[in-house]
Structure 1
Amino acid sequence: MNKRIFLSAPHMGGNELKYIEKVFESNYIAPLGEYVNKFEESIRSYTGVDNALAVTSGTAAIHLALRILGVGKNDDVLASTFTFIGSVNAIIYQGANPVFIDSDKESWNMSPKLLNKYLLECEKKPKALIVTHLYGMSADIEKIADICKLHGVYLIEDAAESLGATFNGNHTGTFGDFGIYSFNGNKILTTSGGGMLVSSNENWIKKAMFYSTQAKESFIHYEHEEYGYNYRMSNVLAAIGVGQMEVVEDRVSKKREIFEWYKESLSDVKEIEFMPELDNSRGNRWLTAMTFEITDYNKIMKTLEDINVESRPLWKPMHMQPLFKNAKKYVDGTSENLYNHGLCVASSTTMTKDDVKMICDKIKENLD
């Protein structure tokens, strides 16, 4: 059997180990040290955002953003329903109520039309919106940002999957009041685990740093007037991040090339549709995602597993999850249809064109 091909395997750029060795030489292993600062600076430089804070995960970054924005018990927070649960768990941490908004067919991301319609009709004004840029592809973020401003709703961009993606030349994560990135093990860049909170508001990021380091007041002893969290990234993981950021554009280019290989190999298959890319945007194509009009994707998954290739269904919408069975939702069936017919296929940056051809041949053999 061939070596396992993962959905999105970690891929080191070459300098990560050298930087980790420097961290060990300095003995700054804990959440202090030059590489945390360097990693934050690399994100600022790459995305053009003014302020960045390295934290333990993307979920931690969302949690900090919600708290900074004053989201609390019984507040409503709008969120993409077609997403991973990490996008919305922090709403519950704050005792707030998630309200799920459906996708559109043009992007598979949150529908600006449904969002605006909900805000015009809702009786209770939401405090914030968390919009996910799904599978590395930009939502129609300028429209969404304009709608939020019109209705006085804070905007948090969950760009966990979309580092390197742009809309009209600007990076995802930089349009809202806050943006977040994830560096979990399977993301386009990884620090094994970690995240980044970004904002144009310096005071908010300073407050987030305060909360992320146990809310310790500026005394020689440990003085606490508020509660905080242990959310700061370690210097070791940040060193990996610095090395990864050196190859970020190479990773985006390779992910997009892999997508083009799939598109080319399956161009003659009418029942397959790929996740679209909005005009004036550049997705990072973190995962190549497709839908099957007729064929049961479970049949495709089994066939790929037989040749040691990982695949996965598209995200099950949050409003369909048992945890959120009583949550408010504003849906039109788009995300449910995508979930029922969609699959993510292997998109690791170490893959070759022959790997993709092998996968596509197996897909074609098992179409109904």
Structure 2
Amino acid sequence: MKLKFREPSAEARRAVCRSALYGEKHDPEARIRKVTGHRYARLLNSGNAAILLLAHRLEGPLLVPDQGGWRGFMRIPEITGREVLTVKTDLGLLDPEVLDARLTETGASALLVTSFAGYTAEQPIRELADVCRSHGALLVEDASGSVSDPLERLCNGKISDIIIASTGAPKTVNAGGGGFISTSVPQIVQQDMLLSSLKADPYVRAAVALELEAAERNLTETLRACSYLKENLEGVLHPDKRGINVIIPSSDPRGDVKRLRKVINADGRSIFTPCPSYDRVLENAVAVEVKNLDVGSLTPENLEAMAELISSTMGATRPR
């Protein structure tokens, strides 16, 4: 079994070179608007830059999941003095009724949530959006893992007020750097010194424009691979939910990760994350980062071998 770590494509790298050598120009924002359905899109230097921009643009406290989000949700708004509050989840998954009560309690101006809780379970984005709108709050979806969702339930501007994403490696839009923000609310992307300082350089623009074309295949193949692993590994979290990684409870997560790295790696790099981790779940577990693998590696033979090796390696430490 040979696994390859997800890297920007050769076509994207050549586009970067042409941009640097010949000044070739690209318009990734047009493609982003087409994908999200929003009126406006801006390419930025990172997904974190999009969070920083929002922290400056929005007023009032922000709500974030108590786990399964992105650590930047908690840390970046603090730079601007923005208050960040949490809402209780079921291992990262939000319940619309719990969100409704929390918005009533806090009067938060926006909810920041990732498309997939801990990358492993699809959030009920439409239901969450309905709750937010009933309170006059904005739904901000971090779609780093869900750009070009074939089912159009995620990264959909008809549902989410604001969509942000990282396009660094290894992501669904795997450009090696950059990020974007998309919205139909003009005030969010109004041109000023802050937005200018956060913009992406022309080389990132070239890579993002090319990698957007591959996003749907990256996502579709990763979802398929995770579905197979969830069906063939015992005790996984959120087994019936779409996701781009697989999280398995463990009584010795760091030990399991160390042992797994010896038998499974991608070009010598790890695809395992020990938990507790806010970005995944705050429980003892191991996250199998299928999203980090080149989709060409996600063959039936490789997935079968991965499932067997993970089961045999973690068998003694999996909680009963």
TM-score range, shorter-chain basis? 0.7 to 0.9
Please give the secondary structure, in 2, of the residue aligned with 1:62.
helix
- Gap runs ≥5 in structure 2: none
Shift of 1:22: 2.8
Equivalent residue runs for 1:280-291 within 5 Å: 283=242, 285-286=243-244, 288-291=245-248
Q: Could you say which residue in structure 2 is the equivalent of 1:306?
A: 262
Q: Which range is displaced more, 198-207 or 187-196? A: 198-207
Question: Once the two structures are superposed, what CA deviation does each residue of 1:310-346 show, in whole Å capped at 9, x if it has no partner?
Answer: 211356238xxxxxxxxxxxxxxx953xx32352344
CA distance in 2, matches of 1:138, 1:62: 21
Q: Could you say which residue in structure 2 is the equivalent of 1:194?
A: 178
Equivalent residue runs for 1:213-228 within 5 Å: 213=196
CA distance in 2, matches of 1:363, 1:308: 9
Please give the secondary structure, in 2, of the residue aligned with 1:244.
helix
Question: Once the two structures are superposed, what CA deviation does each residue of 1:186-242 show, in whole Å capped at 9, x if it has no partner?
Answer: 1122221211000012343234x65221xxxxxxxxxxxxxxxx2101110111111
Q: Is the 8 A contact 1:136 1:161 kept in 2?
A: no
**1:350 paired to 2:296:** yes
Are residues 340 and 128 of structure 1, via their aligned partners in 2, closer, same or farther at CA, if it must alter by over 3 Å? same
Are residues 345 and 248 of structure 1, via their aligned partners in 2, closer, same or farther at CA, if it must alter by over 3 Å? closer
Are residues 358 and 166 of structure 1, via their aligned partners in 2, closer, same or farther at CA, if it must alter by over 3 Å? closer
Q: Which range is displaced more, 182-191 or 137-146? A: 137-146
Q: Scaled by the length of structure 2, what TM-score is found?
A: 0.83
Q: Could you say which residue in structure 1 is the equivalent of 2:194?
A: 211
Q: Is the 8 A contact 2:141 2:163 kept in 1?
A: yes
Question: Once the two structures are superposed, what CA deviation does each residue of 1:250-302 show, in whole Å capped at 9, x if it has no partner?
Answer: 21222123224323543xx3x3345542xxxxx5x43x22233x654434322
Q: Could you say which residue in structure 2 is the equivalent of 1:10?
A: 7
Shift of 1:143: 1.8
Q: Bigger radius of gyration, 1 or 2?
A: 1
Q: Could you say which residue in structure 2 is the equivalent of 1:150?
A: 134
**1:45 paired to 2:28:** no
**1:81 paired to 2:66:** yes
Q: Could you say which residue in structure 2 is the equivalent of 1:272?
A: 236
- Gap runs ≥5 in structure 1: 29-33, 214-229, 278-282, 319-333
Please give the secondary structure, in 2, of the residue aligned with 1:272.
coil
Amino acid at match of 1:81: D
Are residues 136 and 10 of structure 1, via their aligned partners in 2, closer, same or farther at CA, if it must alter by over 3 Å? farther
Question: Once the two structures are superposed, what CA deviation does each residue of 1:96-132 show, in whole Å capped at 9, x if it has no partner?
Answer: 2211112236xx4323222112223x2x422322122
Q: Is the 8 A contact 2:237 2:247 kept in 1?
A: yes
CA distance in 2, matches of 1:263, 1:185: 24
Q: Could you say which residue in structure 1 is the equivalent of 2:155?
A: 172
Are residues 113 and 199 of structure 1, via their aligned partners in 2, closer, same or farther at CA, if it must alter by over 3 Å? same
Q: Could you say which residue in structure 2 is the equivalent of 1:130?
A: 112
Question: Once the two structures are superposed, what CA deviation does each residue of 1:62-112 show, in whole Å capped at 9, x if it has no partner?
Answer: 22123222x3xxx4211122222123322212202211112236xx43232
Q: Is the 8 A contact 1:184 1:191 kept in 2?
A: yes
State the superposition RMSD in angstroms: 2.8
CA distance in 2, matches of 1:346, 1:125: 37
Are residues 365 and 335 of structure 1, via their aligned partners in 2, closer, same or farther at CA, if it must alter by over 3 Å? closer
Amino acid at match of 1:66: A
Equivalent residue runs for 1:215-254 within 5 Å: 230-254=197-221
Are residues 171 and 133 of structure 1, via their aligned partners in 2, closer, same or farther at CA, if it must alter by over 3 Å? closer
- Identify the match of residue 160 of structure 1 among 138, 144, 149: 144
Q: Which range is displaced more, 356-365 or 54-63? A: 356-365
**1:341 paired to 2:288:** no
Q: Which portions of structure 1, spanning 4 or more consecutive aligned residues, are displaced by more than 4 angstroms? A: 2-6
Q: Scaled by the length of structure 1, what TM-score is found?
A: 0.73
Identity of aligned residues (%): 19
CA distance in 2, matches of 1:237, 1:317: 29
CA distance in 1, matches of 2:183, 2:13: 30
Q: Is the 8 A contact 1:53 1:197 kept in 2?
A: yes
CA distance in 1, matches of 2:238, 2:135: 33
Are residues 276 and 297 of structure 1, via their aligned partners in 2, closer, same or farther at CA, if it must alter by over 3 Å? farther
Q: Is the 8 A contact 2:35 2:147 kept in 1?
A: no
